[in-house]
Amino acid sequence: MNASGTQEVWIDDGAAGSRLDLFLARHPTPAKTLGATFSRSEIQRLIDEGQITLNGARTKASTRIKEHDRIDIRLLPPRDAEVGAEALPLAILYEDADCIVLNKAPGITVHPAAGHWSGTLVNALLHHCPEMDGIGGIRRPGIVHRLDKDTSGVMIVAKNMAAYHNLVLQFKNRTVEKEYIAIAWGNVIGDKGVIDRPIGRHRSDRKKMSSVFFSKGAREALTDWAVEERFALASTNGASCFMTLLRVRPRTGRTHQIRVHLADCGHPLLGDSMYGKKRNHSARWLESGDPRIQLLSRQALHAEKLTIKHLRTGQPIRFTAPLPEDLVALRDYLRRKRNGPAE
Statement: residue 285 has pLDDT above 50: no
Sequence spans of domains, the chain: 6-74, 82-173, 174-343
Statement: residue 79 has pLDDT above 70: no
Q: Are 19 and 47 in contact (CB under 8 A)?
A: no
pLDDT digits (tens, 9 = 90+) for 240-283: 788 999 999 999 999 999 999 999 999 999 999 899 864 444 44
What value does the mean pLDDT take over residues 272-297? 63
Statement: residue 39 has pLDDT above 80: no
pLDDT at 316: 97
pLDDT digits (tens, 9 = 90+) for 161-201: 999 999 999 999 999 999 999 999 999 999 999 999 999 98
Statement: residue 80 has pLDDT above 80: no
Scored b (16 or more CB within 10 A) or e, 263-276 reads bbbbbbbbbbebbb
Q: What is the CATH topology of the domain spanning 82-173?
A: Pseudouridine synthase (3.30.2350)
pLDDT digits (tens, 9 = 90+) for 2-32: 555 678 888 888 788 889 988 888 776 665 5
pLDDT at 35: 53
Shortest CA distance to 54 belongs to which of 13, 21, 14, 5?
21
Rounded Cα distance between 235 and 287, Å, is 8
State what percent of residues in the chain have pLDDT above 70: 83
Statement: residue 299 has pLDDT above 90: yes
pLDDT at 282: 41
pLDDT at 77: 52
pLDDT at 292: 66
Q: Which residue has the higher pLDDT, 302 or 8?
A: 302
**Residues acting as catalytic residues:** 148
pLDDT bracket for residue 115 (50, 70, 90): low
pLDDT at 36: 47
Q: Which residue has the higher pLDDT, 89 or 38?
A: 89
The number of C-alpha atoms within 13 Å of 87 and in the hemisphere containing its C-beta is 0
Question: Distances from the Cα of 50 to the Cαs of 61, 109, 311, in angstroms?
Answer: 11, 22, 44
pLDDT digits (tens, 9 = 90+) for 303-318: 999 999 999 999 999 9
pLDDT at 225: 98
Q: Are 222 and 252 in contact (CB under 8 A)?
A: yes
pLDDT at 289: 58
pLDDT digits (tens, 9 = 90+) for 122-166: 999 999 999 888 788 777 889 999 999 999 999 999 999 999 999
pLDDT at 114: 61
- The residues with which 32 forms a beta bridge, in sequence order, are none
Statement: residue 33 has pLDDT above 80: no
Q: What is the CATH topology of the domain spanning 6-74?
A: 3.10.290
Shortest CA distance to 163 belongs to which of 108, 103, 98?
98
pLDDT digits (tens, 9 = 90+) for 316-328: 999 999 999 999 9
- State which amino acid sits at residue 250: P
What value does the mean pLDDT take over residues 85-91? 92
How does DSSP assign 255-293, residue by residue? TTHHHHHHHHTT-PBTT-TTTSSS----GGGS-TT-HHH
Burial class (CB in 10 A: 0-12, 13-18, 19+), 181: buried
Statement: residue 342 has pLDDT above 50: no
Q: What is the CATH topology of the domain spanning 174-343?
A: Pseudouridine synthase (3.30.2350)
Rounded Cα distance between 207 and 9, Å, is 26
Scored b (16 or more CB within 10 A) or e, 218-240 reads beebbbebebeeebebebeeeee
Question: What's CA 340's distance to the chain center, in Å?
Answer: 36
What value does the mean pLDDT take over residues 331-338? 88
Whole-prediction pTM: 0.75
Q: Are 221 and 198 in contact (CB under 8 A)?
A: yes
The domains spanning 82-173 and 174-343 adopt the same CATH topology: yes
Scored b (16 or more CB within 10 A) or e, 5-26 reads ebbebebeeebeebbbbebbbe
